[in-house]
Structure 1
Protein backbone atom coordinates (compact mmCIF):
# COMPACT_ATOMS: atom_id res chain seq x y z
CA UNK A 1 0.00 0.00 0.00
CA UNK A 2 1.33 3.41 -0.98
CA UNK A 3 1.56 5.84 1.95
CA UNK A 4 0.58 9.36 0.83
CA UNK A 5 3.14 12.12 1.35
CA UNK A 6 0.44 14.78 1.73
CA UNK A 7 -2.23 14.84 4.42
CA UNK A 8 -5.35 12.72 4.11
CA UNK A 9 -8.54 12.32 6.12
CA UNK A 10 -10.99 9.44 6.31
CA UNK A 11 -14.74 9.83 6.02
CA UNK A 12 -16.60 6.59 6.46
CA UNK A 13 -14.51 4.06 4.60
CA UNK A 14 -13.15 6.54 2.03
CA UNK A 15 -9.90 8.50 1.92
CA UNK A 16 -9.79 12.17 0.99
CA UNK A 17 -6.61 14.07 0.15
CA UNK A 18 -6.17 17.56 1.57
CA UNK A 19 -4.66 20.13 -0.77
CA UNK A 20 -1.72 21.72 1.13
CA UNK A 21 -2.36 25.08 -0.57
CA UNK A 22 -6.13 25.53 -0.58
CA UNK A 23 -7.29 22.97 1.97
CA UNK A 24 -9.64 21.53 -0.65
CA UNK A 25 -10.44 17.84 -0.26
CA UNK A 26 -10.56 15.33 -3.09
CA UNK A 27 -11.41 11.63 -2.93
CA UNK A 28 -8.58 9.17 -3.39
CA UNK A 29 -8.21 7.08 -6.53
CA UNK A 30 -8.47 3.78 -4.66
CA UNK A 31 -11.65 4.93 -2.90
CA UNK A 32 -13.20 5.80 -6.26
CA UNK A 33 -12.16 2.47 -7.78
CA UNK A 34 -13.67 0.86 -4.69
CA UNK A 35 -17.10 1.72 -6.10
CA UNK A 36 -16.77 -1.29 -8.39
CA UNK A 37 -19.01 -4.19 -7.31
CA UNK A 38 -17.07 -7.07 -5.76
CA UNK A 39 -19.46 -10.01 -5.43
CA UNK A 40 -16.55 -12.41 -4.97
CA UNK A 41 -15.78 -10.83 -1.58
CA UNK A 42 -18.91 -12.36 -0.08
CA UNK A 43 -17.76 -15.87 -0.94
CA UNK A 44 -14.18 -15.12 0.12
CA UNK A 45 -15.36 -13.84 3.50
CA UNK A 46 -17.57 -16.89 4.03
CA UNK A 47 -14.65 -19.18 3.25
CA UNK A 48 -12.33 -17.34 5.68
CA UNK A 49 -14.90 -17.54 8.48
CA UNK A 50 -15.41 -21.27 7.83
CA UNK A 51 -11.64 -21.88 7.86
CA UNK A 52 -11.22 -20.00 11.14
CA UNK A 53 -14.09 -21.98 12.65
CA UNK A 54 -12.49 -25.30 11.73
CA UNK A 55 -8.95 -24.28 12.68
CA UNK A 56 -9.99 -22.77 16.04
CA UNK A 57 -12.93 -24.99 16.92
CA UNK A 58 -11.76 -25.66 20.48
CA UNK A 59 -11.30 -21.99 21.31
CA UNK A 60 -14.67 -21.04 19.83
CA UNK A 61 -16.51 -23.80 21.70
CA UNK A 62 -14.72 -22.78 24.89
CA UNK A 63 -15.81 -19.17 24.53
CA UNK A 64 -19.40 -20.22 23.84
CA UNK A 65 -19.49 -22.67 26.78
CA UNK A 66 -18.36 -19.87 29.11
CA UNK A 67 -21.59 -18.13 28.23
CA UNK A 68 -20.08 -15.62 25.84
CA UNK A 69 -21.88 -16.55 22.64
CA UNK A 70 -21.58 -12.97 21.38
CA UNK A 71 -17.80 -13.14 21.85
CA UNK A 72 -17.58 -16.33 19.81
CA UNK A 73 -19.68 -14.79 17.05
CA UNK A 74 -17.59 -11.62 17.08
CA UNK A 75 -14.36 -13.63 16.87
CA UNK A 76 -15.62 -15.45 13.78
CA UNK A 77 -17.15 -12.50 11.97
CA UNK A 78 -13.93 -10.50 12.31
CA UNK A 79 -11.83 -13.23 10.70
CA UNK A 80 -11.89 -11.59 7.24
CA UNK A 81 -10.75 -8.27 8.78
CA UNK A 82 -7.80 -9.99 10.47
CA UNK A 83 -6.84 -11.68 7.21
CA UNK A 84 -7.07 -8.41 5.28
CA UNK A 85 -5.00 -6.52 7.86
CA UNK A 86 -2.26 -9.14 7.79
CA UNK A 87 -2.01 -8.91 4.01
CA UNK A 88 -2.07 -5.10 4.16
CA UNK A 89 0.74 -5.03 6.74
CA UNK A 90 2.94 -7.26 4.56
CA UNK A 91 2.14 -5.13 1.52
CA UNK A 92 2.98 -1.88 3.31
CA UNK A 93 6.32 -3.18 4.57
CA UNK A 94 7.19 -4.58 1.14
CA UNK A 95 6.32 -1.24 -0.49
CA UNK A 96 8.66 0.51 1.92
CA UNK A 97 11.52 -1.76 0.86
CA UNK A 98 10.64 -1.35 -2.82
CA UNK A 99 10.70 2.44 -2.54
CA UNK A 100 14.12 2.46 -0.92
CA UNK A 101 15.53 0.00 -3.44
CA UNK A 102 14.07 1.97 -6.37
CA UNK A 103 15.89 5.04 -5.02
CA UNK A 104 19.14 3.09 -4.72
CA UNK A 105 19.08 3.12 -0.92
CA UNK A 106 20.23 0.28 1.33
CA UNK A 107 17.43 -1.67 3.01
CA UNK A 108 19.42 -3.04 5.94
CA UNK A 109 18.17 -6.14 7.74
CA UNK A 110 15.04 -7.68 6.27
CA UNK A 111 12.47 -9.74 8.15
CA UNK A 112 12.61 -13.38 6.94
CA UNK A 113 8.96 -13.22 5.86
CA UNK A 114 9.73 -10.27 3.59
CA UNK A 115 13.10 -11.43 2.30
CA UNK A 116 11.67 -13.19 -0.81
CA UNK A 117 9.84 -9.99 -1.80
CA UNK A 118 13.04 -7.97 -1.51
CA UNK A 119 15.07 -10.52 -3.47
CA UNK A 120 12.53 -10.66 -6.29
CA UNK A 121 12.34 -6.88 -6.50
CA UNK A 122 16.13 -6.77 -6.72
CA UNK A 123 16.01 -9.26 -9.59
CA UNK A 124 13.49 -7.04 -11.39
CA UNK A 125 15.80 -4.03 -11.01
CA UNK A 126 18.78 -6.03 -12.30
CA UNK A 127 16.93 -7.56 -15.24
CA UNK A 128 14.97 -4.55 -16.53
CA UNK A 129 17.22 -1.70 -15.33
CA UNK A 130 14.30 0.75 -14.98
CA UNK A 131 15.06 4.46 -14.95
CA UNK A 132 12.99 5.56 -11.97
CA UNK A 133 11.81 9.17 -12.41
CA UNK A 134 9.31 9.46 -9.53
CA UNK A 135 8.40 7.22 -6.60
CA UNK A 136 5.63 7.50 -4.01
CA UNK A 137 4.28 10.85 -5.20
CA UNK A 138 0.74 12.24 -5.29
CA UNK A 139 -1.21 13.35 -8.36
CA UNK A 140 -4.08 15.84 -8.29
CA UNK A 141 -6.90 16.42 -10.75
CA UNK A 142 -8.73 19.71 -10.52
CA UNK A 143 -10.67 18.94 -13.69
CA UNK A 144 -12.27 15.81 -12.24
CA UNK A 145 -11.81 16.33 -8.48
CA UNK A 146 -9.69 13.39 -7.32
CA UNK A 147 -6.17 12.69 -6.06
CA UNK A 148 -4.02 9.63 -5.57
CA UNK A 149 -0.58 8.35 -4.61
CA UNK A 150 1.27 6.21 -7.12
CA UNK A 151 4.17 3.80 -6.64
CA UNK A 152 6.47 4.84 -9.47
CA UNK A 153 6.89 6.45 -12.86
CA UNK A 154 9.78 4.98 -14.84
CA UNK A 155 11.27 4.33 -18.23
CA UNK A 156 11.56 0.62 -18.97
CA UNK A 157 13.11 -0.61 -22.20
CA UNK A 158 12.63 2.81 -23.76
CA UNK A 159 8.97 3.25 -22.72
CA UNK A 160 7.74 5.67 -20.06
CA UNK A 161 5.17 3.91 -17.86
CA UNK A 162 3.18 4.33 -14.68
CA UNK A 163 4.08 1.48 -12.34
CA UNK A 164 2.20 -0.14 -9.50
CA UNK A 165 3.74 -2.66 -7.10
CA UNK A 166 1.32 -5.45 -6.12
CA UNK A 167 1.87 -8.14 -3.49
CA UNK A 168 -1.66 -9.57 -3.41
CA UNK A 169 -2.05 -13.34 -3.31
CA UNK A 170 -4.94 -13.22 -5.80
CA UNK A 171 -2.85 -11.72 -8.60
CA UNK A 172 -3.28 -8.77 -10.96
CA UNK A 173 -6.89 -7.62 -11.36
CA UNK A 174 -8.39 -5.62 -14.22
CA UNK A 175 -9.34 -2.62 -12.05
CA UNK A 176 -5.67 -1.67 -11.79
CA UNK A 177 -6.13 -0.24 -15.29
CA UNK A 178 -8.57 2.28 -13.82
CA UNK A 179 -6.14 3.14 -11.05
CA UNK A 180 -3.20 3.72 -13.40
CA UNK A 181 -5.40 5.61 -15.87
CA UNK A 182 -6.40 8.02 -13.09
CA UNK A 183 -2.74 8.73 -12.33
CA UNK A 184 -1.89 9.08 -16.02
CA UNK A 185 -4.69 11.57 -16.74
CA UNK A 186 -4.42 13.77 -13.63
CA UNK A 187 -3.42 17.44 -13.89
CA UNK A 188 -0.13 17.52 -12.00
CA UNK A 189 1.99 16.03 -9.24
CA UNK A 190 1.57 17.88 -5.95
CA UNK A 191 4.17 17.99 -3.20
CA UNK A 192 3.62 18.36 0.58
CA UNK A 193 4.70 22.02 0.41
CA UNK A 194 2.04 22.73 -2.22
CA UNK A 195 4.46 22.97 -5.13
CA UNK A 196 3.41 21.41 -8.41
CA UNK A 197 5.36 19.27 -10.84
CA UNK A 198 4.17 18.87 -14.45
CA UNK A 199 2.69 15.45 -15.10
CA UNK A 200 5.09 13.37 -17.23
CA UNK A 201 3.93 11.86 -20.51
CA UNK A 202 3.65 8.08 -20.63
CA UNK A 203 3.21 5.35 -23.23
CA UNK A 204 1.31 3.09 -20.86
CA UNK A 205 1.31 1.34 -17.52
CA UNK A 206 2.44 -1.86 -15.85
CA UNK A 207 2.13 -3.84 -12.65
CA UNK A 208 5.07 -5.50 -10.95
CA UNK A 209 3.46 -8.40 -9.11
CA UNK A 210 5.74 -9.77 -6.40
CA UNK A 211 5.01 -12.84 -4.32
CA UNK A 212 7.27 -15.04 -2.18
CA UNK A 213 7.29 -17.66 -4.94
CA UNK A 214 8.17 -15.32 -7.81
CA UNK A 215 7.50 -12.09 -9.69
CA UNK A 216 6.21 -10.85 -13.05
CA UNK A 217 5.97 -7.55 -14.90
CA UNK A 218 2.53 -7.20 -16.49
CA UNK A 219 1.62 -4.51 -19.10
CA UNK A 220 -1.64 -2.64 -18.42
CA UNK A 221 -3.82 -0.65 -20.82
CA UNK A 222 -4.42 2.60 -18.94
CA UNK A 223 -5.33 4.78 -21.90
CA UNK A 224 -8.33 7.09 -22.52
CA UNK A 225 -10.87 4.23 -22.61
CA UNK A 226 -9.87 3.05 -19.14
CA UNK A 227 -9.95 6.63 -17.89
CA UNK A 228 -13.52 7.08 -19.14
CA UNK A 229 -14.61 4.12 -17.02
CA UNK A 230 -12.80 5.64 -14.02
CA UNK A 231 -14.74 8.88 -14.52
CA UNK A 232 -18.02 6.94 -14.45
CA UNK A 233 -16.97 5.50 -11.10
CA UNK A 234 -16.15 9.02 -9.94
CA UNK A 235 -19.80 9.91 -10.54
CA UNK A 236 -20.93 6.78 -8.70
CA UNK A 237 -18.73 7.91 -5.81
CA UNK A 238 -20.41 11.34 -5.89
CA UNK A 239 -23.82 9.65 -5.74
CA UNK A 240 -22.81 7.42 -2.83
CA UNK A 241 -20.96 10.00 -0.74
CA UNK A 242 -22.58 13.30 -1.60
CA UNK A 243 -25.98 13.03 -3.22
CA UNK A 244 -28.04 9.95 -2.35
CA UNK A 245 -28.77 11.07 1.22
CA UNK A 246 -30.47 14.22 -0.13
CA UNK A 247 -33.05 12.70 -2.47
CA UNK A 248 -35.64 11.34 0.01
CA UNK A 249 -37.78 13.98 1.68
CA UNK A 250 -40.42 13.95 4.42
CA UNK A 251 -43.77 12.29 3.71
CA UNK A 252 -46.56 14.69 2.81
CA UNK A 253 -49.21 13.11 5.04
CA UNK A 254 -49.23 14.59 8.54
CA UNK A 255 -49.51 11.33 10.46
CA UNK A 256 -46.37 9.77 9.03
CA UNK A 257 -43.14 9.78 11.00
CA UNK A 258 -40.52 12.12 9.46
CA UNK A 259 -37.61 10.32 7.81
CA UNK A 260 -35.47 13.22 6.69
CA UNK A 261 -31.82 12.28 6.47
CA UNK A 262 -28.77 14.41 7.14
CA UNK A 263 -26.83 15.05 3.92
CA UNK A 264 -23.35 13.54 3.80
CA UNK A 265 -20.35 15.93 3.91
CA UNK A 266 -19.55 17.25 0.45
CA UNK A 267 -15.99 17.10 -0.86
CA UNK A 268 -14.86 20.59 -1.84
CA UNK A 269 -13.49 21.08 -5.30
CA UNK A 270 -10.19 22.78 -5.92
CA UNK A 271 -10.41 26.35 -7.13
Structure 2
Protein backbone atom coordinates (compact mmCIF):
# COMPACT_ATOMS: atom_id res chain seq x y z
CA UNK A 1 0.00 0.00 0.00
CA UNK A 2 1.30 3.46 -0.88
CA UNK A 3 1.11 6.69 1.07
CA UNK A 4 -1.87 9.03 1.11
CA UNK A 5 -1.76 11.63 -1.65
CA UNK A 6 -3.66 14.88 -1.92
CA UNK A 7 -5.29 16.71 -4.81
CA UNK A 8 -6.76 20.19 -5.19
CA UNK A 9 -10.30 20.67 -6.52
CA UNK A 10 -11.92 24.12 -6.75
CA UNK A 11 -9.57 25.53 -4.17
CA UNK A 12 -10.08 22.72 -1.64
CA UNK A 13 -7.70 19.93 -0.72
CA UNK A 14 -8.85 16.31 -0.89
CA UNK A 15 -7.08 13.26 0.51
CA UNK A 16 -7.06 10.05 -1.53
CA UNK A 17 -7.16 6.70 0.25
CA UNK A 18 -4.17 4.69 -1.06
CA UNK A 19 -6.16 1.43 -0.98
CA UNK A 20 -9.67 2.39 -2.12
CA UNK A 21 -8.93 5.68 -3.99
CA UNK A 22 -11.85 7.25 -2.10
CA UNK A 23 -11.49 11.05 -1.93
CA UNK A 24 -12.46 12.99 1.21
CA UNK A 25 -12.04 16.69 1.99
CA UNK A 26 -9.16 17.89 4.13
CA UNK A 27 -9.75 19.12 7.65
CA UNK A 28 -8.37 22.58 6.85
CA UNK A 29 -10.70 22.93 3.86
CA UNK A 30 -13.68 21.96 6.03
CA UNK A 31 -12.70 24.46 8.75
CA UNK A 32 -12.42 27.00 5.92
CA UNK A 33 -16.24 26.93 5.73
CA UNK A 34 -16.24 28.99 8.94
CA UNK A 35 -17.24 32.60 8.14
CA UNK A 36 -14.31 35.02 8.34
CA UNK A 37 -15.74 38.49 7.65
CA UNK A 38 -12.67 40.16 9.16
CA UNK A 39 -10.61 38.95 6.19
CA UNK A 40 -12.44 41.39 3.92
CA UNK A 41 -11.37 44.36 6.04
CA UNK A 42 -7.85 42.97 6.48
CA UNK A 43 -7.39 42.55 2.71
CA UNK A 44 -8.74 46.05 2.07
CA UNK A 45 -6.32 47.46 4.66
CA UNK A 46 -3.37 45.66 3.05
CA UNK A 47 -4.27 47.08 -0.36
CA UNK A 48 -4.78 50.59 1.00
CA UNK A 49 -1.47 50.54 2.87
CA UNK A 50 0.40 49.34 -0.21
CA UNK A 51 -1.19 52.08 -2.33
CA UNK A 52 -0.26 54.81 0.15
CA UNK A 53 3.25 53.50 0.87
CA UNK A 54 4.12 53.14 -2.85
CA UNK A 55 1.94 55.82 -4.38
CA UNK A 56 4.65 57.18 -6.71
CA UNK A 57 5.54 53.72 -8.00
CA UNK A 58 1.89 52.78 -8.50
CA UNK A 59 1.21 56.06 -10.27
CA UNK A 60 4.05 55.49 -12.75
CA UNK A 61 2.92 51.91 -13.30
CA UNK A 62 -0.68 53.01 -13.91
CA UNK A 63 0.45 55.45 -16.62
CA UNK A 64 1.99 52.56 -18.54
CA UNK A 65 -0.30 49.69 -17.57
CA UNK A 66 -3.48 50.47 -15.64
CA UNK A 67 -4.55 46.82 -15.41
CA UNK A 68 -1.11 45.84 -14.18
CA UNK A 69 -1.27 48.47 -11.43
CA UNK A 70 -4.69 47.19 -10.38
CA UNK A 71 -3.39 43.60 -10.25
CA UNK A 72 -0.36 44.72 -8.22
CA UNK A 73 -2.55 46.40 -5.60
CA UNK A 74 -5.23 43.74 -5.34
CA UNK A 75 -2.56 41.06 -4.92
CA UNK A 76 -1.16 42.65 -1.74
CA UNK A 77 -2.90 40.33 0.72
CA UNK A 78 -2.25 37.25 -1.44
CA UNK A 79 1.48 37.95 -1.60
CA UNK A 80 1.68 38.54 2.15
CA UNK A 81 -0.20 35.30 2.83
CA UNK A 82 2.16 33.36 0.56
CA UNK A 83 5.25 34.74 2.29
CA UNK A 84 3.83 33.81 5.70
CA UNK A 85 2.83 30.37 4.43
CA UNK A 86 6.35 29.77 3.10
CA UNK A 87 7.88 30.70 6.45
CA UNK A 88 5.35 28.48 8.22
CA UNK A 89 6.17 25.51 5.99
CA UNK A 90 9.90 25.91 6.55
CA UNK A 91 9.35 26.22 10.31
CA UNK A 92 7.16 23.10 10.37
CA UNK A 93 9.86 21.16 8.54
CA UNK A 94 12.39 22.39 11.09
CA UNK A 95 10.15 21.42 14.03
CA UNK A 96 9.62 17.92 12.64
CA UNK A 97 13.35 17.34 12.26
CA UNK A 98 13.99 18.60 15.79
CA UNK A 99 11.16 16.62 17.43
CA UNK A 100 12.54 13.49 15.73
CA UNK A 101 15.83 14.08 17.49
CA UNK A 102 17.89 15.70 14.75
CA UNK A 103 20.39 18.19 16.09
CA UNK A 104 19.92 21.41 14.14
CA UNK A 105 22.59 23.96 14.98
CA UNK A 106 22.38 26.35 12.05
CA UNK A 107 19.44 27.59 9.99
CA UNK A 108 18.66 30.61 7.83
CA UNK A 109 18.53 33.86 9.82
CA UNK A 110 14.75 34.23 9.46
CA UNK A 111 14.28 30.72 10.94
CA UNK A 112 16.73 31.10 13.81
CA UNK A 113 14.15 32.53 16.27
CA UNK A 114 11.86 29.56 15.56
CA UNK A 115 14.71 27.09 16.06
CA UNK A 116 15.71 28.75 19.33
CA UNK A 117 12.17 28.77 20.72
CA UNK A 118 11.44 25.20 19.69
CA UNK A 119 14.64 24.08 21.40
CA UNK A 120 13.48 25.93 24.53
CA UNK A 121 10.14 24.10 24.33
CA UNK A 122 11.87 20.73 24.07
CA UNK A 123 13.97 21.53 27.15
CA UNK A 124 11.10 22.96 29.20
CA UNK A 125 8.56 20.21 28.43
CA UNK A 126 10.76 17.26 27.40
CA UNK A 127 8.03 15.48 25.42
CA UNK A 128 8.22 11.97 24.01
CA UNK A 129 7.39 11.71 20.32
CA UNK A 130 4.75 9.09 19.54
CA UNK A 131 3.84 10.03 15.96
CA UNK A 132 4.57 12.95 13.62
CA UNK A 133 3.16 14.15 10.30
CA UNK A 134 0.77 11.23 9.78
CA UNK A 135 -2.74 11.39 8.35
CA UNK A 136 -5.84 11.14 10.53
CA UNK A 137 -8.72 9.58 8.56
CA UNK A 138 -12.41 9.49 9.47
CA UNK A 139 -14.42 6.80 7.74
CA UNK A 140 -17.53 7.68 9.72
CA UNK A 141 -17.61 11.35 8.70
CA UNK A 142 -15.51 11.29 5.52
CA UNK A 143 -12.64 13.70 6.10
CA UNK A 144 -8.87 13.47 6.58
CA UNK A 145 -5.97 15.68 7.57
CA UNK A 146 -2.27 15.66 8.37
CA UNK A 147 -1.54 16.37 12.02
CA UNK A 148 1.76 17.69 13.33
CA UNK A 149 2.43 15.35 16.24
CA UNK A 150 1.17 13.08 18.97
CA UNK A 151 3.31 13.60 22.06
CA UNK A 152 3.46 12.13 25.52
CA UNK A 153 4.08 14.81 28.12
CA UNK A 154 4.33 14.54 31.88
CA UNK A 155 2.26 17.00 33.94
CA UNK A 156 2.00 17.78 37.64
CA UNK A 157 -1.23 18.19 39.61
CA UNK A 158 -1.59 21.77 38.34
CA UNK A 159 -1.25 20.69 34.72
CA UNK A 160 2.27 22.09 34.36
CA UNK A 161 4.99 20.13 32.53
CA UNK A 162 7.56 18.23 34.58
CA UNK A 163 10.62 17.99 32.29
CA UNK A 164 12.14 15.30 34.55
CA UNK A 165 9.03 13.22 33.68
CA UNK A 166 8.08 12.84 37.33
CA UNK A 167 4.46 13.85 36.73
CA UNK A 168 1.55 11.93 35.24
CA UNK A 169 1.92 11.00 31.55
CA UNK A 170 -0.64 12.50 29.13
CA UNK A 171 -1.03 11.57 25.48
CA UNK A 172 -1.71 14.76 23.52
CA UNK A 173 -2.30 15.57 19.87
CA UNK A 174 -0.26 18.70 19.20
CA UNK A 175 -0.25 21.35 16.49
CA UNK A 176 2.55 23.81 15.72
CA UNK A 177 1.39 27.35 14.89
CA UNK A 178 3.58 30.20 13.60
CA UNK A 179 0.78 32.68 12.93
CA UNK A 180 0.54 36.08 14.61
CA UNK A 181 -1.82 34.69 17.22
CA UNK A 182 -3.62 31.48 18.15
CA UNK A 183 -7.20 31.42 16.91
CA UNK A 184 -10.20 29.45 18.21
CA UNK A 185 -10.64 27.46 14.99
CA UNK A 186 -7.53 25.45 15.92
CA UNK A 187 -9.85 23.60 18.33
CA UNK A 188 -12.08 22.57 15.41
CA UNK A 189 -9.06 21.36 13.47
CA UNK A 190 -7.64 19.34 16.36
CA UNK A 191 -10.98 17.88 17.44
CA UNK A 192 -11.34 16.53 13.91
CA UNK A 193 -7.97 14.79 14.14
CA UNK A 194 -8.69 13.42 17.61
CA UNK A 195 -12.10 11.99 16.62
CA UNK A 196 -10.79 10.30 13.46
CA UNK A 197 -11.00 6.52 13.15
CA UNK A 198 -7.50 5.66 12.00
CA UNK A 199 -4.00 6.90 11.30
CA UNK A 200 -2.18 6.29 8.02
CA UNK A 201 1.58 6.79 8.06
CA UNK A 202 3.93 7.77 5.23
CA UNK A 203 4.34 4.13 4.13
CA UNK A 204 0.59 3.52 4.04
CA UNK A 205 0.49 1.50 7.27
CA UNK A 206 -2.71 1.92 9.28
CA UNK A 207 -3.22 2.21 13.02
CA UNK A 208 -6.25 2.87 15.19
CA UNK A 209 -6.42 6.38 16.59
CA UNK A 210 -5.18 6.02 20.19
CA UNK A 211 -7.13 7.18 23.22
CA UNK A 212 -5.94 10.74 23.70
CA UNK A 213 -5.90 12.63 26.97
CA UNK A 214 -6.22 15.99 25.27
CA UNK A 215 -4.72 18.41 22.78
CA UNK A 216 -2.35 21.35 22.82
CA UNK A 217 -1.02 23.97 20.46
CA UNK A 218 2.59 25.13 20.47
CA UNK A 219 2.49 28.75 19.30
CA UNK A 220 5.87 30.05 18.16
CA UNK A 221 6.61 33.52 16.83
CA UNK A 222 9.98 35.23 16.32
CA UNK A 223 9.49 36.84 19.76
CA UNK A 224 8.17 34.08 22.02
CA UNK A 225 6.63 30.63 22.41
CA UNK A 226 3.72 29.25 24.42
CA UNK A 227 2.31 25.74 24.93
CA UNK A 228 -1.47 25.95 25.39
CA UNK A 229 -4.15 23.30 26.04
CA UNK A 230 -6.96 23.09 23.46
CA UNK A 231 -10.50 21.80 23.93
CA UNK A 232 -11.40 18.88 21.67
CA UNK A 233 -14.55 17.64 23.41
CA UNK A 234 -17.77 16.51 21.74
CA UNK A 235 -19.29 20.02 21.72
CA UNK A 236 -16.33 21.33 19.73
CA UNK A 237 -16.36 18.33 17.41
CA UNK A 238 -20.09 18.82 16.70
CA UNK A 239 -19.28 22.28 15.35
CA UNK A 240 -16.71 20.73 13.03
CA UNK A 241 -19.30 18.19 11.86
CA UNK A 242 -21.66 21.06 11.08
CA UNK A 243 -18.96 22.62 8.91
CA UNK A 244 -18.46 19.23 7.26
CA UNK A 245 -22.14 19.30 6.25
CA UNK A 246 -21.74 22.89 5.06
CA UNK A 247 -18.81 21.73 2.91
CA UNK A 248 -21.03 19.14 1.22
CA UNK A 249 -23.71 21.78 0.72
CA UNK A 250 -21.24 24.23 -0.82
CA UNK A 251 -19.48 21.73 -3.10
CA UNK A 252 -22.34 19.39 -4.01
CA UNK A 253 -25.88 19.90 -2.72
CA UNK A 254 -26.14 23.61 -3.60
CA UNK A 255 -25.60 22.73 -7.25
CA UNK A 256 -28.69 20.51 -7.31
CA UNK A 257 -31.37 22.49 -5.51
CA UNK A 258 -32.50 24.82 -8.32
CA UNK A 259 -34.01 23.13 -11.35
CA UNK A 260 -34.36 24.27 -14.95
CA UNK A 261 -37.07 26.83 -15.62
CA UNK A 262 -40.49 25.31 -16.32
CA UNK A 263 -41.80 28.70 -17.50
CA UNK A 264 -40.05 31.93 -18.42
CA UNK A 265 -40.48 35.18 -20.28
CA UNK A 266 -40.59 35.14 -24.05
CA UNK A 267 -38.41 37.61 -25.86
CA UNK A 268 -40.42 39.49 -28.48
CA UNK A 269 -38.59 40.43 -31.66
CA UNK A 270 -40.31 43.27 -33.53
CA UNK A 271 -40.39 43.69 -37.28
CA UNK A 272 -38.08 46.69 -37.03
CA UNK A 273 -35.53 44.59 -35.13
CA UNK A 274 -35.71 41.79 -37.73
CA UNK A 275 -35.23 44.21 -40.62
CA UNK A 276 -32.24 45.81 -38.87
CA UNK A 277 -30.32 42.52 -38.88
Task: Give the structure-1-normalised TM-score.
Answer: 0.90
Per-residue CA deviation, residues 101-142 of structure 1 (Å, 9 max, x unaligned), is: 000013353000010001000000011001110011101111
Q: Which residue of 234, 244, 262 maps to 1:252?
A: 262
Which blocks of at least 5 consecutive residues in structure 1 are unaligned?
Answer: 258-271
- Equivalent residue for 1:260? none
Q: Are 1:27 and 1:147, in contact at CA under 8 Å, matched by a contact in 2?
A: yes
- Equivalent residue for 1:213? 223
- Equivalent residue for 2:157? none
- Equivalent residue for 1:110? 107
Which secondary structure does the structure 1 equivalent of 2:134 belong to? Answer: strand
Mapping for residues 160-199 of structure 1, pairs under 5 Å:
160-169=171-180, 171-199=181-209
Give, in whole Å, the separation in 2 of the partners of 1:78 and 1:224: 39
- Deviation at residue 59 of structure 1 after TM alignment: 1.4
Give, in whole Å, the separation in 2 of the partners of 1:191 and 1:168: 26
Mapping for residues 1-271 of structure 1, pairs under 5 Å:
6-66=4-64, 68-107=65-104, 109-157=106-154, 158-169=169-180, 171-253=181-263, 255=265
Which secondary structure does the structure 2 equivalent of 1:217 belong to? Answer: strand
Q: Are 1:20 and 1:193, in contact at CA under 8 Å, matched by a contact in 2?
A: no
RMSD of aligned C-alpha atoms? 1.3
- Deviation at residue 256 of structure 1 after TM alignment: 6.1
Give, in whole Å, the separation in 2 of the partners of 1:254 and 1:54: 50
Which blocks of at least 5 consecutive residues in structure 2 are unaligned?
Answer: 155-168, 268-277
Give, in whole Å, the separation in 1 of the partners of 2:247 and 2:215: 24
Give, in whole Å, the separation in 1 of the partners of 2:236 and 2:202: 28
Give, in whole Å, the separation in 1 of the partners of 2:266 and 2:134: 53
Paired residues in the alignment total 251
Give, in whole Å, the separation in 2 of the partners of 1:119 and 1:18: 36
Q: Are 1:19 and 1:194, in contact at CA under 8 Å, matched by a contact in 2?
A: no
Q: Are 2:191 and 2:237, in contact at CA under 8 Å, matched by a contact in 1?
A: yes
- Deviation at residue 255 of structure 1 after TM alignment: 4.6
Task: Give the structure-2-normalised TM-score.
Answer: 0.88
- Deviation at residue 190 of structure 1 after TM alignment: 1.2
Q: Are 2:134 and 2:202, in contact at CA under 8 Å, matched by a contact in 1?
A: no
Higher relative contact order (CA 8 A, sep 6+): 1
Which secondary structure does the structure 2 equivalent of 1:253 belong to? Answer: coil
